[in-house]
Structure 1
């Protein structure tokens, strides 16, 4: 049976992690509301689950764990959209420091496990981490294509976004081709709408 201290520490961690529900991303939901990092993480995990049969030899539980923790540090300092990140930015270092702070109330073994999962995701050296990185990019693009975005949303950025990560597995490449086609269609639609607005 778990000790009272372990339960209390875990509940404290979960209270802090709840902030991920309030951490907004650059994407918008299909009804036009800003998307939270927690929502992105949920659908990333769902993508891993529903495509799992296509990933031969992959440990699904491990893949899902990587997906769950990949943006966990953003609960404290927020998300920096890819379009605003610069070469040599300290986003990764900040997320690592925030994750250490976030997990400090957990018992030592769980804290070490979560930090190790995050580091594995960042390094993208294992098959599961490579897939988690690729699916992360694809989920973001899927949301951008599906979302009810503001008029100045930059769809063109997505056409170059995450190319390396989404070409790491044949299925990721297939999904990417479909989403790129949808992105181009959305870009054309928005370009026509802006041109029409100028004429009025």
Structure 2
């Protein structure tokens, strides 16, 4: 099979991410897909990456492949407190499977990039990790969520990833303020005080 044919097979297989739903809701009230999350993460990274000392192309590709492991097992919400080791091993297996459709060199390059993201070993990985959490919180704050949605979870979600750069700290402050507002709206009748 020619390299282009292999790449097209991979693209066709990756289409499945359009049907993997996440524990996040769009502003219309429907659940978002992993593909939609990855797209908006890449858009966010494309806007903010110039403020960081990172390779923008590498950063964008990392955004696009970071959740490939959800293709077969689906999204497992962090709020569900999953077994992280088991989740990682299952995702690694599935990433290797879908990447096996690609030409060898590309398969190896993309797997190394996926591993770099998961190991959080580069400036690009650290940025994408933070923005992955940020995009999720943005969607939670923007979405039309079910009545029992737990906004308070977001006040601590991924916080350690936002400490390395002033722009990330500023982003986190904005997101925490928005989240605290949602918590107050939801619990306001009970007089509960919420600090961002």
TM range, smaller chain: over 0.9
**TM-score where L is the length of structure 2:** 0.92
Residue 15 of structure 1 pairs with residue 32 of structure 2: no
Match 2:60 to one of 64, 75, 80:
64
Which residue matches 1:25?
22
What's the counterpart of residue 103 of structure 1?
A: 99
- Please give the TM-score of this superposition, normalised by the length of structure 1: 0.90
Cα distance change, pair 29–191 in 1 and its aligned pair in 2 (3 A) = same
2:138 is matched with which residue: 135, 142, 147?
Answer: 142
* Mapped contact 1:134–1:168 kept (Cα < 8 A): no
Q: Take 1:173 and 1:151, find their aligned partners in 2: how far apart are those partners? A: 29
Kindly name which structure, 1 or 2, has the bigger radius of gyration based on alpha carbons.
1
RMSD of aligned alpha carbons: 1.6
Match of 2:159 in 1: 163
Structure 1 unaligned segments of length 5 or more: list them: 196-200
Number of residue equivalences: 191
* Runs of 4+ off more than 6 Å: none
Q: Which residue of 2 aligns with 1:50?
A: 47
> Residues 23 and 88 of structure 1: is their aligned pair in 2 closer, same or farther, counting only changes over 3 Å?
closer
Q: Provide structure 2 residue ranges, at least 5 long, that are not aligned to the other structure.
A: 192-196
Q: Secondary structure at the match of 2:24?
A: strand
Question: Which among 70, 73, 89 is matched to residue 69 of structure 2?
Answer: 73
TM-superposed deviation, 1:11: 1.5
The SS at the match of 1:90 is helix
- 70-79 or 84-93, which deviates more: 84-93
Do the aligned partners of residues 143 and 109 (structure 1) sit closer, same or farther apart at CA in structure 2, a change above 3 Å counting?
Answer: same
